[in-house]
Amino acid sequence: MAMTKCKECGNELSTKADACPKCGAKVSKTSVPAKGCLVVIVLFFGLAAIGALIGKDKSSESASDAEPTAVEPARASAEVVSLADLLGQYKGNEVRADGLFKGKIIQTTGKVVDVKKGMMGEIYVTVGTGQQFEIPKVQCFFDKSKVSIVSQLNGGDTVTVQGRVGGLMMNVLVRECELVSN
């Protein structure tokens, strides 16, 4: 049985009690669950913020380290990967999938699920195979200079994207994305 202290007299009492047996003060029933919910909400948003910052740091590092001329030849040698295969590999065994794809530039085709901005203002498009309730999907991050191109996309559009695989974090993250066709 969980115990708490009376806010009036400090007497220890059960969290199930309606009133303090010593002083008769009424016990608030919502205080304990509300605190638990608050902790869960704070943890969720904290983890989401950390994930966004980590992703942004990796994206800015790789973008600033490479010369613009060095990126273009790498784009030409993108490995064409079936979206179903990429997602299946990450769903089945993240460690193996990282060995196959992480850090490599891939090109894949799928259906636009969402076109959004992240918590830090980054532009991304999620792409899936079209299956309902699909997890994971590919989350393609685009440079802000591509906003006019990305803003023309709609859910359900078939697109071909290419970029550098960053690994799995809820979705398969792909950075430095380019829209090859739509």
What is the predicted pLDDT for the residue at 131?
Answer: 87
* Average pLDDT per 10 consecutive residues for the chain, totaling 182 residues: 82 83 78 60 69 56 42 63 93 94 94 91 92 90 91 92 94 93 72
| CATH number for region 62-181 | 2.40.50.140
What is the predicted pLDDT for the residue at 16?
Answer: 82
**Alpha carbon of 36 to those of 31, 42, 61, 123: distances in Å?**
9, 10, 38, 33
Cβ proximity of 108 and 80 under 8 Å = yes
**End-to-end alpha-carbon separation of the chain, Å?**
60
Please state the pTM of the whole predicted model. 0.58
* Tokens 């989401």, residue located: 48
What is the predicted pLDDT for the residue at 125?
Answer: 94
- Residue 123 tokens read as 């532009």
What is the predicted pLDDT for the residue at 33?
Answer: 54
What is the predicted pLDDT for the residue at 72?
Answer: 42
For residue 176, give the H/E element and its range.
strand 171-181
What is the predicted pLDDT for the residue at 60?
Answer: 47
Burial environment of residue 102 by CB neighbours within 10 A (0 to 12, 13 to 18, 19 or more): middle
What is the predicted pLDDT for the residue at 68?
Answer: 38
Phi, psi of 143 (to 5 degrees): -65, 150
